[in-house]
Amino acid sequence: MNEFPPRYRDYLSSPGDLDPQGSVHREDHVHDDRPFEDSVVIGRLRGQDVWHAVWQGEREALGEFDGTRTEAIAWARDKSPRCLIYSEAAGDVVPLGDDEPGKHG
């Protein structure tokens, strides 16, 4: 596992000094028999008026874009029919279109 010098990965070998909270959940690969479908997720960068979009491929990000919200949406729609965006009203990521005013209370 340590193919790199230990200096740079001490977190893999150091003893713990925190009593963690919470329970231990499963740790395994995602098992999903559905065929993979690419998507774009758009979010607003914290503390900035910049929207960050990631075109999500099966094994890697296929592209990224930073710009205004309008620009990011246009870029996303050009890349994939499956687009999601962070909605401040919902406080969550929702399908693009569901974030429009009136969709959430």
Partner 1 sequence: MSGNWGYGGSVLGRVDLYASFQLTGAQTWSKPVQYKNTRSTTEVVFTGDLINSAPGATGNPVPGKWSIYNAGSVPGGLTRSWSPNGYKSYDNTMWDHSQVHQWSWKTSGYSGYWYAYIKSICTRTSDKVTYRFYSVNQLPANAYGAGWRS
Please state the closest distance from residue 24 (CB atom) to partner 1, in A: 5
Exposure of 15 in the CB half-sphere (CA atoms within 13 A):
1
Minimum separation from the CB atom of position 104 to partner 1 (A): 17
CA 10 to chain centre: 27
CB 84 within 8 A of CB 74: no
Q: How far apart are CA 103 and CA 89, in angstroms?
A: 9
Q: Output 23 or 70, the one with its CB closest to partner 1.
A: 23
Give the interface with partner 1 as residue ranges (CB under 8 A): 1, 4, 6-12, 14-18, 20-30, 32, 36, 39, 41-43, 45-46, 52-54, 56, 58-61, 64, 82, 84, 92-93
What letter does residue 69 receive in the DSSP assignment? Answer: H
- Residue with Cβ nearer partner 1 (60 or 105): 60
Q: CB of residue 99 vs partner 1: minimum separation in angstroms?
A: 14
Q: Using CA atoms, how far apart are residues 54 and 84, in angstroms rounded to an integer?
A: 10
CB of 52 to partner 1, least distance (A): 5
